[in-house]
Chain A
Amino acid sequence: MTDQSRPATTRRGFLKAGLATGGAIAAGSAARAAQEPDPLITEVQPWAQGLGEGVDAVPYGLPIEYEADVVRRNVPWLTADVISSINFTPIHALDGTITPQGCAFERHHSGAIELRKEDYRLMINGLVDQPLIFTYEDLERFPRVNHTYFLECAANTGMEWAGAQLNGAQFTHGMIHNMEYSGVPLRTLLEEAGVKTEGKWVYVEGADASSNGRSIPLDKAMDDVLVAFKANGEALRKEHGYPVRLVVPGWEGNMWIKWLRRIEVTDQAIESREETSKYTDTLADGTSRKWTWVMDAKSVITSPSPQSPIKHGPGPLVITGLAWSGRGAIDRVDVTIDGGKNWQTARLAQPGQDKAISRFYLEIDWDGSEMLLQSRAIDSTGYVQPTKAQLRDVRGLNSIYHNNCIQTWWVKAGGEAENVEIS
């Protein structure tokens, strides 16, 4: 790489250099009282002289190379292989609420399959007046709606039940994405087939080998579930269910069936593998909760965080993060810098939306001393995000899923941050 316009150091290199010399502070003050004229200003730079790329260079663009660290990451030791596995959205580096599809997390049980629109078929069968087959083209002819919702894996933060394990918001909270979906209400398709009065559940499954079948009560299916084919304006990505997936607002990500191929109306839950062996939550006494569908209110500070340390020294600091609730909209987020002794109410960038991610900000004047940062979400039902200790008191340590506890980042005097638990 010989491009002269490239910054001399990587993000991490800059951090290390800054920490080594105590230069994080010096860098901040240097900018305020420049002794030498800045050559980036006083010398004509190549981009101000020559030409950039033409409009035909990139028909479909990717992020600029300097953002190469804003990518999905996986944790090899979590699963037996990379096919039935998980990766993580780089939430530590994103802002706003919409997740770019290209770095939105993936969770597959038999890999990301390739299914052409021409080969796509959707079946509705079971307790209906008329079992039906739809092609992809058929689906695009039904009245359409647009909604933004979060999809959070039931296992998000699951590795943290026993203690502070993974050092970064991407790894502790990155099994989530938030997209604007376009599609058809499931209700419309069910009404096209005509649900019989004995119908109490729908069993939904994908076209992949794992099938990922799940049972959904008919009330939910007729309420706000979508059969979606566009996300953030364009077709679903292959890894997110192209060409059609189910959107199940507020409910655990496992139920958002990708490559959706069949909807069966039944009079009972099928109790499939994904709702018995998996996605059931074992309590301390050995009994297990089943059908824990809703994702409760949760939040996390994305910056500062272990992968997004403070590099600018004391002074103005933007604390920001994400909050969401499967039971409604986010009403409020509180932030503490002293480990929960005192809380301040943060600012929501937009009023909370039903079952969608909210962005919050708290601007502070950092004095350079260490902090114990936490955020606490409150949703429209009045539910207040609990601590991990509160959750453990009810559930024990072996629930695996649904860990919506308050997260703590220990920000050290130099600005580095670490995932910790506190008393």
Chain B
Amino acid sequence: APAFAEKFGLGRPALPEEVAAWNVDVAPDGTGLPAGSGSVEDGEWLFSENCAVCHGEFAEGVDNWPKLAGGDDTLDHDDPLKTVGSYWPYLSTVWDYVHRSMPFGGAQTLEPDEVYAIVAYILYSNYIVEDDFVLSNENFLDVVMPNADGFIIDDRAETEYPQFSQQPCMTDCKESVQITMRAAVLDVTPEEVTENEAEAAAELKAAADAQDT
């Protein structure tokens, strides 16, 4: 039993400064949030400086980089657009993730007040707050995320396992079989490039380049 488990006396006590340096996660109830605040106005400037090159000036996303705003009411569509505004259930996650892991390639460079400001701007970009909003550790839990109630705990045990645990058919299971979709028609698989193919491609490209000029 765990209560009587043997101890080995390995490791050493963690110092408070060490725990403070690494223990920076923020839970949905606000546990872990440092004191501080930041405005939409400051956030707009900080976002433009640190984030917009990938995520767009309005958090709408550049190229294939993640969109942080938009997609309201698309979750039951064919191609749902999942953003902070349309999908994320908790504001704590936005604060925690931006603080710890963004900007991409320059993580852990933002001070708490800067993170509050950037998060405030992301909320504004999603029309969740007004442009004069100031986010702080005091009013953090007042913000209501649109998709807060959009998640259920894994229910496969009820919705899938009973029906997928029946004796399977072994013989004469169906009358006919038709091919309904083919990957080769879509043709998006990377080719296996052999030396000959690479040479041939290079020759073709050289010929095409010659024609262009």
Residues of A within 8 A of B (CB): 10, 12-13, 69, 73-77, 79-80, 83-84, 109-110, 123-126, 130-134, 138, 141-142, 163-168, 171, 187-188, 191-192, 195, 203, 205, 209-211, 213, 222, 261-262, 264, 266, 268-273, 276-277, 280, 282, 284-294, 296, 306-307, 334, 338-343, 372, 376, 378, 381-386, 390, 394, 397-398, 410, 418-423
A11 to chain B, nearest CB (A): 9
Determine if B28 and A376 form an interchain contact, defined as CB atoms under 8 angstroms apart: no
Please, how many angstroms separate the alpha-carbon atoms of A138 and B87 in the complex?
A: 42
Determine if A282 and B100 form an interchain contact, defined as CB atoms under 8 angstroms apart: no
A-B contact pairs, 5 of them (CB 8 A): A110-B107, A141-B10, A398-B80, A419-B182, A421-B179
Determine if B154 and A123 form an interchain contact, defined as CB atoms under 8 angstroms apart: no
Choose one: A171, A192, A296, A341; the contact of B172 (CB below 8 Å).
A341
Please, how many angstroms separate the alpha-carbon atoms of A350 and B171 in the complex?
A: 26
On chain A, the residues within 8 Å of B89 by CB distance are 271, 276
Residues of B within 8 A of A (CB): 2, 5-8, 10-14, 18-19, 22-23, 25-29, 31, 63-66, 75-76, 78-80, 82, 84, 87-90, 92-93, 96-97, 100-101, 104-105, 107-108, 150-156, 159-161, 163-166, 168-174, 176-184, 186, 188-190, 192, 194, 196
Determine if B93 and A276 form an interchain contact, defined as CB atoms under 8 angstroms apart: yes
Please, how many angstroms separate the alpha-carbon atoms of A262 and B22 in the complex?
A: 8
Q: A134-B11, A165-B183, A192-B11 are in contact. Are A292 and B156 (CB under 8 A)?
A: yes
A109 to chain B, nearest CB (A): 8
- CB-CB nearest in chain A for B16: A131
Please, how many angstroms separate the alpha-carbon atoms of A75 and B190 in the complex?
A: 6
Please, how many angstroms separate the alpha-carbon atoms of A296 and B164 in the complex?
A: 11
Determine if B177 and A338 form an interchain contact, defined as CB atoms under 8 angstroms apart: yes
On chain A, the residues within 8 Å of B23 by CB distance are 123, 125-126, 262, 264
On chain B, the residues within 8 Å of A10 by CB distance are 194, 196
Determine if B27 and A171 form an interchain contact, defined as CB atoms under 8 angstroms apart: no
Please, how many angstroms separate the alpha-carbon atoms of A343 and B173 in the complex?
A: 9
Determine if B82 and A13 form an interchain contact, defined as CB atoms under 8 angstroms apart: no
Determine if B19 and A131 form an interchain contact, defined as CB atoms under 8 angstroms apart: yes
Q: A167-B189, A168-B189, A290-B152 are in contact. Are A133 and B174 (CB under 8 A)?
A: no
Determine if A166 and B107 form an interchain contact, defined as CB atoms under 8 angstroms apart: no
Please, how many angstroms separate the alpha-carbon atoms of A75 and B150 in the complex?
A: 31
Determine if A386 and B19 form an interchain contact, defined as CB atoms under 8 angstroms apart: no
Choose one: A74, A195, A423; the contact of B2 (CB below 8 Å).
A195
A187 to chain B, nearest CB (A): 8
On chain B, the residues within 8 Å of A294 by CB distance are 154, 156
On chain B, the residues within 8 Å of A163 by CB distance are 181, 186
B20 to chain A, nearest CB (A): 10
Cβ-Cβ contact count across A and B, 8 Å cutoff: 255
Please, how many angstroms separate the alpha-carbon atoms of A269 and B101 in the complex?
A: 19
10 more A-B residue pairs beyond the given contacts A125-B22, A209-B108, A277-B82, with a C-beta to C-beta distance below 8 A: A73-B190, A142-B10, A264-B23, A273-B93, A273-B96, A284-B76, A287-B152, A296-B164, A334-B170, A340-B177
Choose one: B25, B173, B176, B190; the contact of A213 (CB below 8 Å).
B25
On chain B, the residues within 8 Å of A386 by CB distance are 160, 164
Determine if A286 and B75 form an interchain contact, defined as CB atoms under 8 angstroms apart: yes
Please, how many angstroms separate the alpha-carbon atoms of A423 and B179 in the complex?
A: 6
A407 to chain B, nearest CB (A): 11
On chain A, the residues within 8 Å of B177 by CB distance are 338-341, 372, 422-423
Please, how many angstroms separate the alpha-carbon atoms of A191 and B4 in the complex?
A: 9
- CB-CB nearest in chain A for B98: A273
On chain B, the residues within 8 Å of A290 by CB distance are 151-154
Please, how many angstroms separate the alpha-carbon atoms of A123 and B87 in the complex?
A: 32
Q: A296-B156, A421-B181 are in contact. Are A270 and B25 (CB under 8 A)?
A: yes
On chain A, the residues within 8 Å of B150 by CB distance are 286-288
B161 to chain A, nearest CB (A): 6
Determine if A423 and B172 form an interchain contact, defined as CB atoms under 8 angstroms apart: no
On chain B, the residues within 8 Å of A110 by CB distance are 101, 104-105, 107
Choose one: A126, A213, A334, A423; the contact of B180 (CB below 8 Å).
A423
Determine if A123 and B22 form an interchain contact, defined as CB atoms under 8 angstroms apart: yes
A120 to chain B, nearest CB (A): 13
Determine if A132 and B180 form an interchain contact, defined as CB atoms under 8 angstroms apart: no
Choose one: B18, B152, B163, B164; the contact of A288 (CB below 8 Å).
B152
- CB-CB nearest in chain A for B74: A286
Choose one: A138, A372, A382, A397; the contact of B78 (CB below 8 Å).
A397
Determine if B179 and A422 form an interchain contact, defined as CB atoms under 8 angstroms apart: yes
Determine if B174 and A383 form an interchain contact, defined as CB atoms under 8 angstroms apart: no
B5 to chain A, nearest CB (A): 4
Determine if B12 and A132 form an interchain contact, defined as CB atoms under 8 angstroms apart: yes
Interface pairs A-B: 4 shortest CB-CB: A286-B76, A339-B177, A286-B75, A419-B183
Determine if A384 and B189 form an interchain contact, defined as CB atoms under 8 angstroms apart: no
Determine if B27 and A268 form an interchain contact, defined as CB atoms under 8 angstroms apart: yes
Of A188, A271, A394, which is in contact with the most chain B CB atoms at under 10 Å from its CB?
A271
On chain B, the residues within 8 Å of A418 by CB distance are 182-184
Determine if B93 and A171 form an interchain contact, defined as CB atoms under 8 angstroms apart: no
Determine if B192 and A69 form an interchain contact, defined as CB atoms under 8 angstroms apart: yes
Q: A261-B22, A262-B23, A287-B151 are in contact. Are A209 and B101 (CB under 8 A)?
A: yes
On chain B, the residues within 8 Å of A292 by CB distance are 154, 156
On chain B, the residues within 8 Å of A385 by CB distance are 164
- CB-CB nearest in chain A for B169: A343
- CB-CB nearest in chain B for A137: B10
On chain B, the residues within 8 Å of A276 by CB distance are 88-90, 93, 151
Determine if A341 and B154 form an interchain contact, defined as CB atoms under 8 angstroms apart: no
On chain A, the residues within 8 Å of B26 by CB distance are 270
On chain B, the residues within 8 Å of A141 by CB distance are 8, 10
Of B25, B66, B178, which is in contact with the most chain A CB atoms at under 10 Å from its CB?
B25
Choose one: B13, B29, B75, B169; the contact of A133 (CB below 8 Å).
B13
